[in-house]
Homo-oligomer: A and B are copies of this chain.
Amino acid sequence: MSENGSKSAYALAGVDIDAAADAVDRMKAHIKTTVTPGVLTGVGSFGGMFALSALGKLDDPVLVSSIDGVGTKLMVAFAMGKHDTIGRDLVQHCINDILVQGARPLFFLDYFGTGKLEPSVAADVVKGLSDGCRENGCALIGGETAEMPGLYSAGEYDVAGCIVGIVERSKIVDGSRVQAGDVVIGLASDGLHTNGYSLARKVLLIDGKLDVNDKLDELGGATIGEALLTPHRCYLKPLANLLDANDTIHAMAHITGGGFTDNIPRVVPDGIGVHIDKSSWPVPPLFRLIQRMGEIEETEMFRVFNMGIGYILIVRPDDADRVLAHLAEAGETAYRLGETVAGSGVTFA
Contact = CB atoms under 8 A, between A and B. Distances in A.
A69 B113 contact: yes
Nearest to A291: B9
A150 interface: yes
A266 interface: yes
10 contacts: A9-B300, A10-B303, A12-B202, A46-B101, A47-B65, A48-B65, A68-B144, A72-B151, A144-B160, A151-B156
A158 B113 contact: yes
A198 B13 contact: yes
Contacts of A97: 46-47
Interface stretch (A103-111, A268-276, A280-288): A103-111
Nearest to A110: B67
B111 A67 contact: yes
A66 B49 contact: no
A47 B142 contact: no
A238 interface: no
A172 to B, nearest CB: 7
Contacts of A162: 65, 67, 109, 111, 162
A63 B52 contact: yes
Interface string A167-183: 00100100000000000
Contacts of A262: 17
Given A9-B296, A65-B50, A15 B160 contact: no
A49 to B, nearest CB: 5
Interface core residue of A67, A143, A254, A297 (most chain B CB under 10 Å): A67
Contact of A266 (B45, B52, B198): B45
A242 to B, nearest CB: 17
B9 A294 contact: yes
Contacts of A303: 10, 17
Given A10-B300, A69-B148, A151-B156, 5 more contacts: A13-B202, A44-B266, A47-B64, A47-B100, A67-B142
Interface string A65-90: 11111011011000000000000000
A105 to B, nearest CB: 11
A106 B52 CA distance: 15
A151 B111 CA distance: 16
B9 A72 contact: no
A164 interface: yes
B172 A49 contact: yes
A197 to B, nearest CB: 9
A8 interface: yes
A113 B52 CA distance: 32
Nearest to A67: B109
B48 A151 contact: no
A228 to B, nearest CB: 14
Contacts of A109: 65-67, 162
A226 to B, nearest CB: 21
Contacts of A328: none
Nearest to A263: B46
Report, nearest first, the 6 A-B pairs whose CB atoms are least far apart: A162-B162, A111-B160, A67-B109, A46-B100, A47-B64, A47-B98
